Amino acid sequence: MFTAVEGARVPIRMWADPATVEDAAMRQLHNVANLPWVHGLAVMPDVHYGKGATVGSVIAMRDAVSPAAVGVDIGCGMSAVRTSLTAGDLPDDLGKLRRRIEDAVPVGFAMHRTPVNPARVPGTGGWNEFWSAFGQLHDGVQNLRDRARAQIGSLGGGNHFIEVCLEQGGPDAGRVWLMLHSGSRGIGNELAKRHIDVARKLPHNADLPDRDLAVFVAGTPEMAAYRRDLFWAQDYAARNRATMVALVQQAVIDTVPGVRFDEPISCHHNYVAEETYDGVDVLVTRKGAIRAGSGDLGIIPGSMGTGSYIVRGLGNETSFHSASHGAGRRMSRTKARKTFTAADLAAQTDGVECRKDEGVVDEIPAAYKDIDSVIKAQADLVEVVAHLKQVVCVKG
């Protein structure tokens, strides 16, 4: 259940204990709740401070949208697919499987030398129309078309990952799942930054307490341009994940012939959607949150050593049909690097085939909140479908 925090223009509905939310994040939430365009604000249990707007926030606005409340990785999200394999079907040398996945999917700053043939990505179409629309995007990204093509089907770095997981408990215990987390790569970042810069300079945003919360308003050319680029980037992110799913599936087929796959589950968690609540048409911005409408399947990951959950939405309107996007950080990347060592990382990812070097110490499980507690805190938002634990984790 949520706690209503008063003191702003609209109540802040929190599925986290307000006493545990850092002061900087609470100030951000109050700044958002005081914006004149905001219809409502819901805060997920993985809430933490973010640039511009708080991560784990769901903002419903009337006739306006804040690009910083979406974030710079437009369309970032998750995909997961259940396989026909069980734990005993996996090779004894999981390092071989990890290397095969890394060969198939570029990670970090890497990209494909030749763009992935869309024919390799089942279930997607309209690629010609999609790329034709590139010419209508912001002038500042028109030189990035070739890079954007080459990055389709690439992972990126930071908290993005590809995992091979085992289902925990229940009749399907030991069933193998594939899971990945990524977004709109460099092109989404470039579009977001350009539109945030435009919004900051608009006169109606001059007196905001935080210029990073600058908005576009309906009926303006700036809003029309942002919506065009935003929805294109969200589509790019979805196509990027679908391409990676296809590449990872092929990597598994090459390692374990005869495997079959269910239909993938996919969900954005940094995005905007047009929805209606209380009879009011609003633009809902989910920054670090998934849609959890009645029956919606979603994915809530933990960290690289703790496991994840497949969930089904309960359609709770008080959260604007939303749930958390993951465990959420409990310390910054800088603090994690200062606090922990590669040896700590190795200990906390024992039993997982993954990188265990200084380059990913900021992703150590102890830098994240407890995923089980986060799931329990939103029992009125989602029900658990499957609990997964990774045995292979690929990071950039």
Report pLDDT digits (tens) over 71-89: 999 999 999 999 999 999 9
Closest of 162, 346, 178 to residue 264, by C-alpha: 178
In a domain, 187, yes or no: yes
In a domain, 165, yes or no: yes
Of the pLDDT bands very low, low, confident and very high (cuts 50, 70, 90), residue 244 is very high
Q: Which two tokens stand for residue 323?
A: 């749930």
Question: What's the pLDDT score for residue 316?
Answer: 98
CB 32 within 8 A of CB 53: yes
Domain with 126 in it: 3-330+368-395
Question: What's the pLDDT score for residue 246?
Answer: 98
In a domain, 49, yes or no: yes
Cα(373)–Cα(34) distance, rounded to whole angstroms? 30
- The tally of domains found in the chain comes to 1
Of the pLDDT bands very low, low, confident and very high (cuts 50, 70, 90), residue 280 is very high
Q: What average pLDDT does the structure give for the chain? A: 96
Average pLDDT over residues 39-51: 95
Binding residues for Mn(2+), by number, are 73, 160, 181, 269
Of the pLDDT bands very low, low, confident and very high (cuts 50, 70, 90), residue 53 is confident
Phi/psi at 98 (5° precision):
-60, -45
Enumerate residues 6+ apart whose C-beta is below 8 A from 36: 9
Cα(291)–Cα(385) distance, rounded to whole angstroms? 16
Radius of gyration of the chain (CA): 20
Q: Which two tokens stand for residue 12?
A: 């802040």
Query: HSE of 22 in the Cβ direction (CA atoms, 13 Å)?
Result: 15
Question: What's the pLDDT score for residue 288?
Answer: 97
What is 100-162 written as a DSSP string?
HHHHHS--TT---SSPPPGGGSTT---HHHHHHGGGGS-GGGGGGHHHHHHHTT---STT-EE
Cα(316)–Cα(329) distance, rounded to whole angstroms? 25
Cα(248)–Cα(357) distance, rounded to whole angstroms? 23
**CATH no. for residue 263?**
3.90.1860.10
Question: What's the pLDDT score for residue 58?
Answer: 98
In a domain, 217, yes or no: yes
CB atoms within 10 A of CB 129: 8
Of the pLDDT bands very low, low, confident and very high (cuts 50, 70, 90), residue 309 is very high
Query: HSE of 45 in the Cβ direction (CA atoms, 13 Å)?
Result: 22
Cα(157)–Cα(36) distance, rounded to whole angstroms? 36
Closest of 373, 334, 368 to residue 349, by C-alpha: 368
Give me the residues paired with residue 298 across strands. 311
- Cα 210 vs. chain centroid, distance in angstroms? 24
The catalytic position among 48, 321, 325, 387 is 325
Average pLDDT over residues 379-387: 98
CB 375 within 8 A of CB 300: yes
Question: What's the pLDDT score for residue 396?
Answer: 86
In a domain, 357, yes or no: no
Binding residues, by number, are 73, 159-163, 181, 269-270, 301-304, 308, 325-328, 395
CB 319 within 8 A of CB 2: yes
325 a catalytic residue: yes
Report pLDDT digits (tens) over 188-212: 999 999 999 999 999 999 999 888 8
Cα(284)–Cα(274) distance, rounded to whole angstroms? 6
Of the pLDDT bands very low, low, confident and very high (cuts 50, 70, 90), residue 298 is very high
H or E element that contains 61: strand 55-61
Report pLDDT digits (tens) over 60-70: 999 999 999 99
Residue 199, helix vs strand vs coil: helix
In a domain, 343, yes or no: no
CB 216 within 8 A of CB 65: yes
